[in-house]
Chain A
Amino acid sequence: MAANYWASTQRRHWLFSREKLAEIRESFRERDKVAHTQFPLPDQRLLNIYFSQQLIKLGKRMSTRQQALATAQVYVKRFYTKNEIRHTNPYLVVTTAFYLACKMEECPQHIRFVVGEARGLWPEFIAPDVSKLGECEFSLISEMSSQLIVHHPYRTLSELQPELSLTSDEVALAWSVINDHYLTDLPLLYPPHVIAVMAIIVAVVFKPSQTSFHGSAAPLASAMRDGGMNILAALGDKNGNGPPPRIQRLITWLAESEVDIKAVIECTQELVSLYEVWEQYSEKHCKELLGRMVKSKNLDK
């Protein structure tokens, strides 16, 4: 973490409204209708799942910190608010975002090593020439107006742990919810503390079972639905004892805090939708569509 979020370029220049994002994406469509009909791509979130899984593979090979992976995912998102994905080689963009994020998060990797590992993963899409990555880095920095510091929700989570006496299971769960939010547009829509609070609520209130969290997300949406119902029932039950004390404590804390509750609810909704969409995810499908696009447009050259 560096600098102050409230005065940061992230808050001033990289926070969008939903409408604005939709408008930007629609303008890409308008500009190049041919490419859009010729190369249909899966839902943005499914693509994000694909990119993030590729990034994790790349990061694992070089044992990178989670924070650098998170920053890289935000870079990719920022880049694609300025550029139509169909005009780029997404594999190169993802690799470059990773390379730059490692430098930014103080765990730099040598450019040759990064290119080598990326080629190991996607030999058809990454050229052996390291200068391509250097060039793309330059363009990435320029497109982001050299505004490179990204504030993440992880720190807020650690800070709130003692405050809300979260158990280590809950923290782990909230942590993975934060990991998952990078698959949505949320990092471009809400400040990190709102995301962190959302993750804590999901972990404490909805308590999707830990086992279903990793691997397939299929049963997750319904688990959250059930969890939510129980809580609502408890809240609504005037004759009963109300919600369990831990949840009561969280509710009191939220009520006293000045966190934008409406935003937290919207974030939660976004996450629920993500888990619902996740059920349709097919890595093979994403890979095929992207591969076809990159190859037939010669984007890898």
Chain B
Amino acid sequence: MAVSPSGPHVSSIAILSPTTTNGLGKSTITESFDKRKKSVLSPQPTQPADREITEQLNDNVKQKYIKEKKLGEGTYAVVFLGHLRTDPSSFVAIKKIKVNAEYKDGLSMDAIREVKYLQELSHPNIIALHDVFSSKDQNLNLVLEYLPRGDLEMLIRDTHIHYGAADVKSWMGMLARGVWFCHENFVLHRDIKPNNLLIAADGEVKLADFGLARSFADPYLNMTHQVITRWYRPPELLFGARQYSGAVDVWSMGMVFAELLLRVPFVAGNSDLDQISKICEAFGTPTEENWPGVTRLPNYIPADATHIALLQGREFFLRQFPTAGPVGADLLMSMCTLDPQKRNTAFGVLKHGWWSTEPKPTQKQDLPRKSGGTKKMGHDLTRRGGELEETPFKNATRQLDFNTARDY
């Protein structure tokens, strides 16, 4: 673990925060960054006055954060715990994105996407990006909100933790508000799952990991279907749809809802094909009748005529998810509709009657909690987006998550 004393370590940090773009004529850059700049820009003639201002600004911003210890490391990023120099109790998570040392391929799309969207989206249920800075080893550092209470997956898996319908309603409400805000701003998250839903000290659920997020495409422009971790991936993406909408995130939300109620992933296929067949078993086989146009999707596989499962009705959801109550089962059913055109929207979810029926959602400070979340945050933030977990090790990673969670 890289526990560093405060002083010298932070001297390599310069802040490129939103607050420093106020037209001071010259952005705040580190000395180290200046050195690099010389290779990009020209050797600059010495300009004493200018350099003094720049350095002084640097000194000011260098002081802003102190890196404490490493929380986790993945192939994509390293996460450190840090705090404001002025206030040792105000913690932040510093996510250092590993850039290829040789700059061979430029910055990865994940890093770009994360910075791009978090810079613009500000909402209580979306992880906040406080600052971005470059450090001496020329890495991009994202200063993120510190979320010490782990994630929803941890709570779902921990059998010692008991929670009820009111708690689920509270968590789902926060998730739905975060997703609605993304969609309202024309952003698709594309990787909603319990371990991307981090929990703040006050119990607030925050949507994290925007490495797969993108803006809604212009009509008729294609997007990739290789997004969203498999168990949370909607049928249209499994069938290879290249044009889709916020409905993909709503399906994922439905899967999280089901998982919160059952405490196991509801449809957990071990391959994309298996995922399709599990979805058919659970909800019914997609046909032209219940989903016009489905057979024309690129990767559509005609169902075996002898194995056509009928579309599940309301009774199924009532029986399968008794804890949600009849109104909750209706909501879940509307989120798990096979045809994305008929599926509920994030806005529709928020307007559903379930929120106003008894029991009332638990106040966030009274929600069940679990310690050991700090390390979990480190783990969650270093993971790559769902698309890249498509390796033979995918389930192994999940197993690992599992085990670390149990160690606490």
Inter-subunit contact B109/A4 (CB<8 Å): no
Q: A138 touching B134 by the CB < 8 A rule?
A: yes
* Interface membership of chain B positions 298-311, coded 1 if the CB is closer than 8 angstroms to chain A and 0 otherwise: 00000000000000
Interface positions, chain B 84-127, Cβ under 8 Å from A, are: 99-100, 102-107, 109, 112, 115-117, 119-122
A218 within 8 A of B: no
Do A134 and B100 form a contact, CB below 8 Å, given A141-B140, A146-B115? yes
Asked if A287 lies at the interface with its beta carbon under 8 angstroms from chain B, I say no
Known contacts A27-B25, A34-B45, A82-B26: does B119 contact A139 (CB below 8 Å)?
no
Taking the closest CB of chain A, its distance from the CB of B310, in whole angstroms, is 39
For A134, give its contact among B22, B26, B50, B106 (CB under 8 Å). B106
Q: Is the CB of B27 within 8 A of A133?
A: no
A126-147, CB under 8 A of B: which get 1 and which 0?
A: 0000111111111101110111
Which residues on A sit within 8 Å (CB–CB) of B49? 31
Measured CB to CB, the closest approach of chain A to B96, in angstroms, equals: 14
Min CB distance A93 to B, Å, is 9
Identify the closest chain A residue to B44 (Cβ): A87
CB distance from A157 to the nearest CB of B (A): 13
Contacts A32-B47, A138-B140, A148-B112 hold; do A4 and B107 have CB atoms under 8 A apart? no
- Please, which residue of chain A has its CB at the minimum distance from the CB of B187? A2
- Interface status of B132 (Cβ within 8 A of chain A): yes
Main secondary structure of the interface of A (DSSP, over half): helix
Q: Which residues of B contact A136 (CB under 8 A)?
A: 40
For residue B215, which residues in chain A have a CB less than 8 angstroms away from its CB? 1-2, 106
A299 close to B (CB within 8 Å): yes
Query: Quick check: A108 and B16 within 8 Å, CB to CB?
Result: no
| Closest-CB distance, A192 to chain B (whole angstroms) | 15
Q: Which residues of A contact B42 (CB under 8 A)?
A: 86-89, 297-299
Determine if A83 and B41 form an interchain contact, defined as CB atoms under 8 angstroms apart: yes
Say which residue of B26, B109, B117, B134 sits within 8 Å of A3 (CB atoms).
B117
Q: Does B39 contact A (CB under 8 A)?
A: yes
Find chain A residues with CB under 8 A from B4 CB.
Answer: none
1/0 per residue, CB under 8 A from A, across B127-157: the answer is: 0000010100010100000000000000000
Contact pick for B41, options A9, A87, A148, CB 8 Å = A87
A24 at the interface (CB under 8 A from B): yes
Please count how many residues in chain B sit with their CB below 8 Å of the partner chain's CB atoms.
52
What's the least CB distance linking A81 to chain B, in Å? 8
Query: At the interface, yes or no: A247 with Cβ under 8 Å from chain B?
Result: no
Q: Determine whether A231 belongs to the interface, using a CB cutoff of 8 Å to chain B.
A: no
- Indicate whether A111 reaches chain B with its CB closer than 8 angstroms: yes
**Given A3-B186, A108-B109, A16 and B23 touching (CB < 8 A)?**
yes
A135 touches B40 (CB 8 A): yes
Residue of A nearest to B23 (CB): A20
Asked if residues B33 and A148 are in contact (CB atoms below 8 Å), the reply is no
Given contacts A87-B42, A146-B119, contact A111 B16 (CB under 8 A): no
Report whether B47 and A31 are in contact in the complex, using a CB–CB cutoff of 8 Å. Answer: yes
Contacts of A103 in B (CB 8 A): 106-107, 109, 112
A2→B117 contact, CB < 8 A:
yes
Interface flag for A13 (CB, 8 Å): yes
Q: Evaluate contact between B121 and A3: CB separation under 8 angstroms.
A: yes
The answer on a CB contact under 8 Å between A149 and B103 is: no
Counting CB contacts under 8 A, is A8 at the interface?
A: yes
- Complex alpha-carbon distance, A88 and B29, angstroms: 16
B36 at the interface (CB under 8 A from A): yes
Q: How far is the CB of B221 from chain A (nearest CB, A)?
A: 8
Docked pose: A20 CA to B22 CA in angstroms: 11
Establish whether residues A138 and B112, one from each chain, have CB atoms under 8 Å apart when the complex forms: no
- Smallest distance from the beta carbon of B173 to chain A beta carbons, Å? 22
Are A92 and B40 in contact, with the CB atoms below 8 A?
A: yes
Q: Mark A82-104, 1 if CB is under 8 A from B, else 0.
A: 11001111001000000110011
Are B41 and A299 in touch, CB under 8 angstroms?
yes
For A133, give the chain B residue with the smallest CB separation. Answer: B106
User: Chain A residues with Cβ under 8 A from B99's Cβ?
Assistant: 134, 138
Contacts of A149 in B (CB 8 A): 116, 119-120
With A3-B185, A9-B18, A131-B102 as given contacts, are A141 and B107 in contact (CB-CB < 8 Å)?
Answer: yes
Q: How far is the CA of A220 from the CA of B214 in the complex (A)?
A: 40
Which residue among A12, A16, A149 has the maximum number of chain B CB atoms within 10 Å of its CB?
A149
* Contact between chains at A1 and B186 (CB < 8 Å): yes
Given the interface pairs A299-B41, A299-B42, the reply to whether A137 lies near B106 with Cβ below 8 Å is yes
With A24-B25, A106-B215, A149-B116: A2-B103 Cβ-Cβ less than 8 Å: no
Q: Is the CB of B134 within 8 A of A31?
A: no
The residues of B that contact A138 with a CB separation of less than 8 Å are 36, 99, 103, 107, 134, 138, 140
Contacts of B37 in A (CB 8 A): 139
In the bound complex, how far is the Cα of B406 from the Cα of A261, in angstroms? Answer: 64
Q: Is residue B271 within 8 Å, beta carbon to beta carbon, of the partner chain?
A: no
Write the nearest CB–CB distance from B142 to chain A, whole angstroms: 8
Determine the chain B residues whose CB is within 8 A of the CB of A7 once the complex forms.
Answer: 120, 122
Q: Inside 8 A of A133's CB, which chain B residues have their CB?
A: 103, 106
Known: A2-B120, A138-B103. A145 touches B187 (CB 8 A): no
| A8 and B47 contact, CB distance less than 8 A | no
Whole-angstrom distance between the Cβ of A15 and the nearest chain B Cβ: 10
Q: Which 10 pairs across A and B sit closest by C-beta, in order of nearness?
A: A134-B103, A2-B215, A3-B120, A146-B132, A131-B103, A13-B21, A3-B185, A146-B115, A145-B16, A145-B21
Residues of A that sit less than 8 Å from B by CB: 1-4, 7-9, 12-14, 16, 20, 24, 27, 31-32, 34-35, 81-83, 86-89, 92, 99-100, 103-104, 106, 108, 110-111, 130-139, 141-143, 145-149, 297-299
What are 15 A-B contacts defined by CB distance under 8 Å? A31-B50, A87-B42, A87-B44, A99-B106, A130-B105, A132-B103, A133-B103, A133-B106, A138-B36, A138-B103, A138-B134, A139-B40, A142-B27, A149-B116, A299-B41
